[in-house]
A and B are shown apart, each in its own frame.
Chain A
Amino acid sequence: MAIKEVKKFPIGGIQLPEKKGLTSDQAIKVMPEPAEVAIPLSQHIGAPAEPIVKVGDRVKKGECIAELQGKISARIHSSISGIVEGIVERKKPGQGTYSCILIKKDDLELKAEAQKSARGALPEIETIRKRVKAAGVIGMGGAGFPTHVKLEPPAGIKIDTVIINGAECEPFLTVDHRLLLEEYLDLFRGLELIKKAVGAEKGIVAIEVNKKDAIEKLQQKAADWPGIEIQALDTRYPHGAEKHLIKAVLNREVPKGELPIAVNVVVNNVQTAVKIARAVDFEEAVTDRVLTVSGEALTTPSNVKVPIGTSIKDVIKFCGGPKDQQDYQIIVGGPMTGINIDDESMPVVKGTSGIVLITAAEYADSETRACIRCGKCSEVCPMYLASNRICAFVNNGLLERADDVGLKDCIECGACAYICPSKRPLVRWIKRGKAELRAVEK
């Protein structure tokens, strides 16, 4: 089936070297359970979960080990069968640490009961929300917003469209691509469930055209799913940014400082929709996730289903480890928005979409030079910001003026810093400016 209409957001954005070929044809591999997992209590936006197990407790895979706290929070489940060793601190990508429940594998391979019922009619809205909440589903694209909250739009707001974000615009990452191909049934089911929960009539799966096979397959399969459309998107970074996805697909512009619900839309990640389907239909908790482990410095780039809490070191080892004699940098997430880490004991969390081993040669660390006012940064900015100006203000301590020219509007996509011929770390400056501004405003 030919791809009909290809949409895109109107202004800005860049073409990136994709490097997706390393893993796009690799079927998802399931990683065996590691000897131990360190499961962070706070993998989501909101209050950390409260542990409900003691040291020495034996836990089954899928058993709840930490209960949510307050309205915006998410439950945590054990990702393996084993014994609770205690609470440990693990470094977080970037700054700070995670408090993690450390569980040692016990070889009993116990699993929490899964519902065996076959898929039938969609359950009641309340049931959907309850089961999603119970399974600890959060935004699996990286944002980590608790999904059950998202499925309950504020009163008075009418949601008409649900978009599944299959853009996957970061280089290297092919998780969503593989899920679209391999788990589209869960995806469609998940999308129907979300639609029901938020009361939307329309469901759209938006996919960049660099995943042509996925678009074609889903267009075919969606024929059996009235109410689900497949929308092709141009290959352009950052189509995966929520606001730009909406702009591209529906031509609606989310007003400054607002959420997608302001334009009657809910956006969900592919893997989130899959997890929702499994949570609602099989009452299966989120104990693992699929991520892409890739990079020119890695021996066997792969798409792997990894238990939550597995250390990054174990994952890299599972993928053959780094190539010999390669200097490399480890990036958690994609190379545009991900974080460069230097401690491989960090755990994989629900929002970890990839681990990329970038060779030292590829890694961006050129000397920062003077801004030549080429305007490239403004040209590519999907938020229509002039980041050279924002940064000029930030670097001169003029935070208010920086705010005037859009400091807070920046979505930190990194397009500007990527394109800058003077290799100016624009996004880093903007992040620092935002932090400083928050400190001033408090």
Chain B
Amino acid sequence: MANLFRSSGPHIESPETIETNMWSVVIALIPALIAGVYFFGLYALYLVLASALSAVVFEKPFVKNTAALGDGSAFLAGLLLGLTLPPTVPWWLPILGGFLTVVIGKHLFGGLGSNIFNPALVARAILLLSYPALMIEWVSPLDGVSTATPLQLGTDAFSYSELIIGNIPGSIGETSVIALLIGGVYLYLRDYIDLKIPLSFTAGAVGAALIFGQDPVFTILSGGLIFAAIYMATDMVTSPVAKWAKIIYGLLGGFLTIFIRRYTPYPEGVTFAILIINGASYFLDNAFETAHFGEVEFVRKKVAHFSAVITAAVLILLVGMTLIDEEAPYPGNLSYSHLNQSVPAADDFEIIERDEDDILFAARAEAETIKDLIYISRNGFEAPIEVLLILEPDGNIENIKIINQSESPTLGARIKDQDFLNQFREFTTADAEQIMAETDLISGATYSSQTVVRAVQAGLRLLIAEQETGLQDGVYQGQAEGVQGDIVLEITVENGDIVDLEILAEQETEHLAQPAYEELEEQLLAEQSADLDTVAGATYTSEAFMEAVEEAIAKASPDSDSESDFEIEDGVYQGSAEGHAGPIELEVVVEAGEITEIEVLSENETPNLGDDAVEATKTAIIENQSLEVDTVSGATNSSVGTVNAVENALDSEAEAASDQSQTEASDADSAAENGEETDTDSSATPAEESEEESTADSDLETEIAEDTAEGGSNG
């Protein structure tokens, strides 16, 4: 025994082994597994075991260990992955996950102890990125109905006690905080867990929640945070060893989790947060090495390092956050993840319309609009009630979410009850004005529930307003007389926007007109309207251009080619509007909701031109059952006057007030605009005025009735 190496101590060893460490964590996870199976059914048990056992099987070629279940590390990693899976994934996914865990996450890095990243999270990240739809499909516990997680539904979708017990949608093993804590206590009592990481992780998350103005308790209880804090972030191999390194690691992880939840499309931010801090753990061990016994100088040196690193980190974060905050695209508590979780299939959410804080989004997948999302915020008792509507392209409300509310917990908060919210499903834009009447308010929470209804209504109106101005995709021609002949042009509409313009024919003075066309095209693409600034030196050309564009736009308007019903109450209505040479007065007969006859009472238009135009226009209106009719060239004013007069007639409210403004609406501009609008709006006033004048922006008969009633009582 000359070998000092073998002969020196210690000659006894603790009973602790890799196995005792790994299996005790497995034991600690049993309560969470039981909870998961209870809430999500036996299939959840299959998923978890398939993940754990396949991890063990895939590890076999890499290890010498002959025990059936290996040293427990593969089983544990697979188990952790399995518990973080949604309970609905297909049968093969956990097996793939087991493979990714041990082969990619662990043995590619050199096996147990050599992997930098938590193998279960490596697998989870790969699965999240590869099968996003499968990995974020959630179901309600017990009944298995598709739904969203608390993180997606927002602070108020579930009570704290539900979050603690775990009867909420989520990953199999992550939902039951109480079960996870039982396991944590077990580990603590058996001294298999060091509390530094779980506590600092939670503290980091709470800190971030406070900074971002979120509910810290909700933050902790949701989104697998406890699971991560106790079982994922503490993975020995990938977390730091030194005391302060652990604390910083945990704080950073907790903070990043909330940061990612808030600023990225991944609401369950823990996966990426922990992978990031995993990468930092060797650095942290170096940077925050504990001062050795008796090292006074060392302590000072380390304190200096420590403060420097912390200061730098805080500075970077602060700068980053201000940048992000400036760009923060959404009002209130709305975040990208709300949108993403509402329409997971979408890859883009474009803001189509924004009115103060109310926003209409088009959710697009491969450039095709698949859903509309509307965010509306209305003042509740304490704070705004924030509502997100998800609508089918046809305007049906598919789902409604309360993103945030601070109503009184016992009464007002019932606005998030599904029974109440479900009422809104299947309402469409057409129902916008009846919603209040057709919704059962919550007794005792009338104000809060009314606010929700108003918000929904406002949302629908926003969509209606947008649809009215939106253009239909296609290519449309327009024509107008320029200085030296007709200008013929063509606009291309895609996704409701004018994306291209082409001049097909023109004979204008080239050196003047060409620059004007270019400038006007630019303006048009930007403004998406024919109302452009004339180009100096080419005023007439510019005007003709605009007129031609207007015609094209009019053709692109959604209702230009569709037969539409007025659905006006039967009766005879009189109306007048300024024509080319004085007022045109006429009488409109409505039968069975249709205009059956228009009788001109008096007009003073140019004989054989203007009066023909009036005749042609009124025939066209009756034929099309629409005010969106072509004007007669050469007698625009007469045509428009006729349209306006019919409109005026149909708007009984406006009859008395038929004012100057209508006479001004005699240029081609307003004709087009009316054309777009009259089909759905019985107001005869141009769009900009109708906004001031009344809230009426619906095409419905009832609306007319209501407007009349309102107008009457107001007047």
Contact = CB atoms under 8 A, between A and B. Distances in A.
Nearest to B113: A370
A423 interface: yes
Interface string B1-25: 1101111111111101110110000
A243 B293 contact: yes
Given A362-B12, A378-B241, A432 B5 contact: yes
Interface in A180-224: none
A333 B12 CA distance: 13
A243 B294 contact: yes
A373 B237 contact: yes
Contacts of A331: 9, 11
B113 to A, nearest CB: 4
Interface in B211-259: 236-243, 246
Contacts of A95: 2, 4
Interface stretch (B135-143, B154-162, B283-291): B283-291
A342 B241 CA distance: 38
B207 interface: no
Contact of A371 (B6, B113, B292, B293): B113
Contact of B10 (A258, A335, A370, A406): A335
Contacts of A16: 12
Interface in A373-426: 373-376, 378-379, 382-386, 388-389, 405-406, 409, 414, 417-423, 425
A384 B5 CA distance: 23
B295 interface: yes
A170 to B, nearest CB: 9
A237 B111 CA distance: 33
Instruction: State the main secondary structure of chain A at its contact with B.
Output: loop
Contacts of B73: 372
Contacts, number: 160
Interface string B286-312: 000111111110100000000000000
A128 B313 CA distance: 62
Contacts of B601: none
Given A255-B294, A374-B236, A389-B241, A431 B113 contact: no
A335 B145 CA distance: 62
A132 B637 CA distance: 129
A427 B242 CA distance: 19
A16 B9 CA distance: 14
A395 B363 CA distance: 57
Contacts of A338: 9, 11
A414 B21 contact: no
Nearest to A244: B293
A250 to B, nearest CB: 14
Interface string A357-373: 01000111010011111
A388 B114 CA distance: 13
B293 A370 contact: no
B194 A253 contact: no
A372 B296 contact: no
B293 A409 contact: yes
Given A171-B12, A418-B12, A418-B14, A382 B293 contact: yes
Contacts of B240: 375
The 10 closest A-B pairs by CB, nearest first: A414-B10, A364-B13, A370-B113, A375-B241, A342-B1, A256-B294, A383-B293, A374-B236, A421-B16, A340-B7
Given A373-B238, A386-B241, 11 more contacts: A95-B4, A335-B10, A337-B9, A337-B10, A369-B112, A383-B293, A384-B291, A384-B292, A386-B290, A422-B113, A432-B5
Interface of A: 14, 16-17, 93-95, 171, 243, 247, 253-258, 329, 331, 333-343, 358, 362-364, 366, 369-376, 378-379, 382-386, 388-389, 405-406, 409, 414, 417-423, 425, 427-428, 431-432
21 contacts: A253-B294, A253-B296, A255-B296, A256-B298, A335-B10, A335-B11, A339-B9, A342-B1, A358-B12, A371-B113, A372-B73, A375-B246, A378-B243, A384-B293, A388-B241, A409-B293, A417-B9, A419-B14, A421-B20, A428-B5, A431-B5
